[in-house]
Amino acid sequence: MNGQIVYLLYFAPLLLVFALVVRRRDRREREMLAALNEAREAGLTQPPSLHPVVDPLRCIGCSSCIHACPEFPAHQILGLIDRKATLISPTDCIGHGACEKACPVGAIKLVFGTAERGVDIPRVNADYSTNVPGVFIAGELGGMGLIRNAVSQGRQAIDGVRAWLKTASRAPAEVDVFIVGAGPAGLAATLGATAAKLRYRTIEQNSLGGTVANFPRGKLVMTEPAELPVVGAFRFSEVRKETLIAFWEDVRSRTGIEIHTGERFLGVTADADGILNVSTTRGNFRSRALILAIGRRGTPRRLDVPGEELDKVSYTLIDPAEHAGRRVLVIGAGDSALEAACACAEAGAATVTLVVRGDNLARARRRNQEHVGRLVDERRLSVLYNAHITAIGKDKVAITIGGARSALDNDVVIICVGGILPTPLLESIGVDVQTKYGTA
Ligand SMILES: Cc1cc2nc3c(=O)[nH]c(=O)nc-3n(C[C@H](O)[C@H](O)[C@H](O)COP(=O)(O)OP(=O)(O)OC[C@H]3O[C@@H](n4cnc5c(N)ncnc54)[C@H](O)[C@@H]3O)c2cc1C
Ligand code: SF4
């Protein structure tokens, strides 16, 4: 009897701890399963580009990959289901690749695309040239994401351009290299062109910083040190988006590099004398080489209505607090539109109206639909279905709702209707593009 009591005294706490651990693990797994089902219901199953694939036969369920992901815990991209690592939130994956490195048994490999949806990746040679003479590709457009990779590719693409210039046409040209995009790749290429004393023209449809400039206010950017031409190493590892953009702005003013913002690249052809003829929204320019550093996010889709060029119109929400006290109109029915509308309503906008072309919000995640529902009930947000904006004025917007014309008082318009991916642009230039269905 005494022996049994001793056993109980020793083992009961152990059993209790074990039971608590198992219960916590099962609860966590149920949450992961719910998150996965929610992503599936909303059709958010396809990662944008490079992402992990887990071999369930090798996975030992140690969770190292989950905690190694730099996006964790802000985004739960990998989670354990049935004790195996699973891609829970594929659309949030930005291809850091830290999970692959962290896996102790080599169960993860990084691939582009999935069996259901291919990802178009241009064929790029080791010197960043393409099959089109004089056309180079640097940064995420070539398939490899991350700021550090973009910086180093932008720098190296200039080496490729310099080698090309030795054999390129000697006919007159306005610049040696035309650089499109001022994200980290385009910035590094521009600095590289300066260091190499090349004549260059850099254009950017938005503003300096590329995708980083569109991150939400205060986003923590995880990066690794990288070498920028002219200015040397930048040593950030964890940095707020604003600090990184301020650093790049400082580099721009210290070095005097010129970046033509608000200018969009439209296409390129080769003139009869072998010089490239680059077409942009500001004219045509003859250049010996072209670097496309346009990333993979594409160009935001426009409504193409009068007034869309007004300053009050934007295509991403960066800081909802900026719109406090204003009358905001958000256009779109996807997650980014719903998230933008909710964020503005909660940041104290005077009114927020979500304008939806169809008659439901089924395309968005359930939690975003529910969030909108709550704010509608609290009268902090209204949704107009079957609605189309027909013109944007300084303080009014013309709209048709179910075919009937109307006008809304308005200070801010945020258009979240998706983007035009770069593949058609690449194909129109003649760049070879391959579609990857789950391969490296
Ligand atoms: C939500 C999110 C979080 C991320 N977090 C991180 C992180 O923490 N750490 C990290 O290392 N990476 C992160 N990334 C990835 C990183 O932002 C990109 O890999 C990197 O910005 C790629 O740089 P890039 O210069 O190749 O392209 P981009 O930064 O995309 O820049 C391309 C530029 O080209 C411009 N452009 C496109 N088309 C045209 C045109 N026709 N004419 C003129 N200009 C054009 C665009 O406006 C854009 O400014 C994140 C990405 C996302 C979406
Ligand atoms: S690190 Fe490897 S073994 Fe561990 S959970 Fe992730 S995939 Fe499985």
Residue spans per domain, the chain: 2-117, 120-298+422-436, 313-418
CATH architecture of 2-117: 2-Layer Sandwich (3.30)
Q: List alpha helices for 117-175, DSSP H.
A: 147-165
Residue identifier of the C-alpha nearest atom 48 of ligand 1: 210
Residue identifier of the C-alpha nearest atom 51 of ligand 1: 94
322-325: long-range pairs with CB below 8 Å, 24+? 323/347, 323/349, 323/411, 323/412, 324/348, 324/349, 325/349, 325/350
The pLDDT assigned to 1 comes to: 57
Q: The pTM is what?
A: 0.87
52 alpha carbon – ligand 2 mean position (Å): 11
Is the CB of residue 145 below 6 angstroms from any atom belonging to ligand 1? yes
pLDDT at res. 144: 87
Q: In sequence order, what are the beta bridge partners of 180?
A: 203, 292
Q: Do domains 2-117 and 120-298+422-436 have the same CATH topology?
A: no
Q: Write down the architecture of domain 313-418 according to CATH.
A: 3-Layer(bba) Sandwich (3.50)
Q: Which residues of the chain have pLDDT under 50?
A: none
Helix axes 2-41, 366-377, angle to 10 degrees: 80
* Nearest ligand to the CA atom of 65: 2
> Which residue's alpha carbon is nearest to atom 9 within ligand 1?
222
Residue 15: per-residue pLDDT: 86
- Cβ pair 188, 155 in contact under 8 A: yes
Q: Find out whether the beta carbon of 103 lies less than 6 Å from any atom of ligand 2.
A: yes
Give me the pLDDT at residue 174, please.
Answer: 98
What pLDDT is attached to residue 187? 98
pLDDT at 19: 86
Separation of CA 314 and ligand 2 centre (Å): 41
pLDDT of residue 352: 98
**Topology annotation, domain 120-298+422-436:** FAD/NAD(P)-binding domain (3.50.50)
- CB-based contacts of 116: which residues, under 8 Å, 6+ apart? 45, 46
Give the ligand at the shortest distance from the Cα of 60: 2
Give the atom of ligand 2 at the shortest distance from the alpha carbon of 66. 6
Contact 292, 141 (CB under 8 A): yes
CA 294, 429, 132 angle in degrees (round to 5)?
Answer: 95
